[in-house]
């Protein structure tokens, strides 16, 4: 039996949260006691068929709500959901068997407390509702005695889990090492090797070279599978011209949206309220003198711009402050003025002119929108007729002759870029086009704009290498890009070797007495710093090699216009002064590590990071220890699995 971590998953979670919150009404629990009453056991502890069915239905319901559509048993099997639930149930049974063996239990008071605090059993006043408790258990086919015994068992398991793992803490050395690794910063320099750095331009290849490249890189020049499709479709836009709308209907629609077509003049404002008019006036004087900005004034009061934002307002909305705000002819500060909340300075950020669109001007827009809505309803009304035609054997060609649906053909591939107005732009069509087989009969499917379509697969053209003569220019461009990239890497390697050689002392040189004295007095700290004269060394190797420098880079840092892989490489370099080549996003860089700065673990930020690291490490260690304990308990007890009962439940839960 596969063992998995329980991660705190318990009977309480499954029963209360799964069944009572997610599963009620959507998935009723059927008793499986008519067949085998259990799917297995661990020692003397049984794993019942009802427990498995209940947990499985609860998880299916949760997945369905998360996905926004029905999550089927076939999909559950594809992700291994039944096996995960079985592993959790058998692990829970092993722990229950362990609590029984060593005599761990909880009293009635603890059981009552757990049940009374469950949200599913609380009434409108937030208190335990006895009638709701009885009704829910009855609906789920559970007796109060059985349910309360399950709660007792689960609480005992949780007590065992806490006893095993709660005392585990992360070693401080591990915390410090992890936090230090996370907070370490580095200084580095980089130089991008570009095509301009190459001494000679890349020559044009001959035909034989290009043909060989075409064959050697066939995967780059192979057209994806193509599906030759026939389809019929109908959208509300296609029918909109056929829709007749009377004047009264359009005027009614106009009146329903009058707030959209007629709006008074408005302002977008923020309001900063003060305790008194004197304080508001003093703040205004500071603004006028230039001592402070309005945003700084907001921050000074412990607020943000979002906190004071009122959005769009009319004169009526502003009350007594309206005249001051609307007197401004451009964005600025009004006031101090009296408002409903007291004296305030008001930041007027934008002017929105009044809107007055008469019916005659809005008529065409109203007609177009209403026509689309009416056409969509017409399509809904006719869907049954179209489905009957297909079911009776009508071809797509016949459908286009007998209905308003339009016939089309398309060579579809997964990477195609649909043209404007193409049916291939609809997600529903693309999904169906990718999965349909030649044995599937056309059927009516929906588009997301209210339209419909039916599709037929006429032929599948397998992936095919495109002929060289048709794509010669594309092959040449690909070869040239690869060749330039190869030469850039070679040039970077040459520069790297030259830089290392220029900075490496000659082993055959005889140290003078002065050199010995100098070496003897050089501190280790000084040896860690980059050698003076680095730029002179670079210039001697390659006068065009220019370094860009960044200091204090963190592991999660980024530099605009540089690929993330370069940042990763900086923190993989072992020693200061080392130079590495980074090949990322088809760009080539030389990267030099200049300095490594250890984290200051006494800083305020570092203390917060250490706290989070300590918590995460402790949780991980606790989970690991409890997993080992659960595995040992499962290994010690005899595990039996009734696969036929499991298969029967899986077949019924759909």
Cα separation of 425 and 641, whole Å? 50
State the pLDDT at residue 16.
41
Strand order of the sheet with strand 452-461?
406-412, 226-234, 452-461, 445-446
Contact at 8 Å (CB) between 48 and 37? Answer: yes
State the pLDDT at residue 106.
79
Burial track 4-17 (b if 16+ CB lie within 10 A, e otherwise): bebeebbbbebbbb
Question: If you average pLDDT over each of 99-108, 213-222, 524-533, which comes out highest?
Answer: 213-222
Given pLDDT bands bounded at 50, 70 and 90, which one contains residue 200?
Answer: confident
**pTM of the predicted model as reported, rounded to 2 decimal places:** 0.52
pLDDT at 435 over 70: yes
Cα separation of 155 and 152, whole Å? 5
Task: Determine the length of the chain.
Answer: 654
Could you tell me the two tokens for 78?
């594809």
Q: Can you tell me whether residue 143 is helix, strand or coil?
A: coil
DSSP code at position 93: H
Query: How many percent of the chain have pLDDT more than 90?
Result: 26
pLDDT at 244 over 80: no
β partners of residue 222: 465
State the pLDDT at residue 240.
67
Question: If you average pLDDT over each of 130-144, 179-193, 628-642, which comes out highest?
Answer: 179-193
Cα separation of 117 and 127, whole Å? 8
What confidence tens digit (pLDDT) does each residue in 578-588 have?
A: 999 999 988 99
pLDDT at 590 over 90: yes
Contact at 8 Å (CB) between 296 and 343? Answer: no
DSSP code at position 1: -
């Amino acid at each position: 039996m596969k063992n998995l971590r329980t991660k705190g998953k318990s009977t309480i979670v499954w029963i209360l949260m799964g069944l009572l919150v997610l599963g009620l009404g959507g998935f009723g629990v059927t008793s499986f006691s008519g067949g085998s009453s259990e799917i297995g056991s661990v020692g003397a502890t049984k794993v019942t068929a009802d427990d498995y069915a209940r947990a499985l239905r609860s998880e299916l319901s949760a997945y369905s709500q998360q996905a926004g559509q029905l999550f089927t048993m076939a999909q559950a099997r594809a992700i291994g959901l039944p096996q995960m639930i079985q592993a959790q149930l058998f692990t829970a049974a092993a722990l229950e068997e362990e609590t029984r063996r060593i005599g761990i239990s909880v009293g009635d008071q603890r059981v009552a407390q757990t049940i009374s605090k469950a949200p599913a059993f609380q009434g409108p006043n937030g208190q335990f509702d006895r009638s709701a408790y009885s009704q829910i258990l009855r609906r789920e086919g559970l007796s109060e005695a059985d349910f309360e015994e399950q709660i007792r068992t689960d609480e005992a398991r949780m007590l065992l889990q806490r006893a095993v793992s709660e005392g585990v803490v992360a070693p401080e050395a591990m915390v410090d090492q992890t936090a230090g690794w996370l907070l370490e910063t580095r200084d580095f320099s980089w130089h991008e090797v570009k095509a301009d750095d190459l001494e000679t331009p890349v020559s044009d290849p001959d035909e034989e070279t290009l043909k060989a490249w075409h064959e050697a890189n066939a995967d780059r020049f192979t057209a994806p599978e193509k599906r030759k499709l026939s389809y019929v479709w109908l959208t509300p836009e296609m029918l909109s011209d056929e829709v007749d709308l009377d004047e009264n209907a359009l005027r009614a629609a106009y009146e329903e949206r009058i707030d959209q077509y007629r709006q008074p003049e408005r302002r977008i404002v923020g309001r900063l309220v003060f305790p008194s008019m004197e304080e508001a006036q003093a703040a205004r004087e500071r603004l006028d003198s230039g001592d402070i900005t309005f945003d700084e004034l907001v921050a000074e009061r412990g607020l943000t711009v979002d906190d004071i934002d009122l959005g769009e307002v009319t004169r009526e909305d502003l009350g007594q402050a309206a005249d001051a705000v609307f007197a401004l002819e451009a964005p600025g500060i009004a006031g101090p003025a009296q408002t409903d909340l007291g004296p305030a300075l008001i930041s007027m950020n934008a002017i929105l002119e009044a809107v007055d669109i008469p019916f005659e001007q809005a008529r065409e827009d109203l007609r177009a929108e209403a026509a689309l809505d009416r056409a969509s309803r017409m399509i809904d009304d006719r869907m049954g007729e179209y489905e009957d035609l297909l079911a009776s054997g009508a071809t797509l060609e016949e459908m286009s002759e007998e209905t308003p649906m339009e016939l089309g053909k398309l060579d579809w591939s997964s990477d195609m870029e649909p043209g404007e107005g193409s049916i291939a732009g609809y997600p529903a069509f693309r999904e169906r086009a990718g999965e349909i087989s030649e044995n599937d009969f056309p059927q009516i499917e929906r588009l997301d704009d209210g339209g419909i379509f039916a599709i037929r697969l006429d032929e599948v053209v397998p992936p095919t290498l495109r002929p060289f003569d048709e794509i010669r220019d594309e092959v040449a461009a690909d070869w040239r890009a690869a060749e330039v990239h190869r030469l850039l890497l070679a040039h970077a390697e040459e520069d790297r070797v030259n830089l290392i050689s220029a900075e490496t002392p000659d082993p055959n040189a005889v140290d003078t007495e002065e050199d010995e004295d100098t070496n003897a007095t050089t501190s280790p700290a000084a040896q860690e710093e980059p050698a003076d004269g680095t730029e002179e060394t670079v210039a001697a190797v390659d006068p065009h090699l220019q370094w860009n420098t960044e200091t204090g880079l963190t592991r999660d840092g980024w530099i605009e216009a540089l690929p993330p892989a370069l940042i990763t490489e900086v923190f993989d370099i072992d020693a200061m002064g080392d130079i590495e080549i980074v090949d990322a996003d088809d760009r080539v860089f030389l990267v030099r590590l200049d300095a490594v700065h250890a984290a200051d673990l006494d800083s305020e930020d570092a203390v917060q990071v250490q706290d989070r690291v300590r918590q995460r490490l402790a949780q991980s260690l606790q989970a690991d220890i409890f997993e080992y304990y659960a595995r040992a308990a499962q290994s010690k007890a005899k595990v039996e699995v009734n696969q036929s009962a499991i298969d029967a439940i899986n077949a019924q839960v759909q």
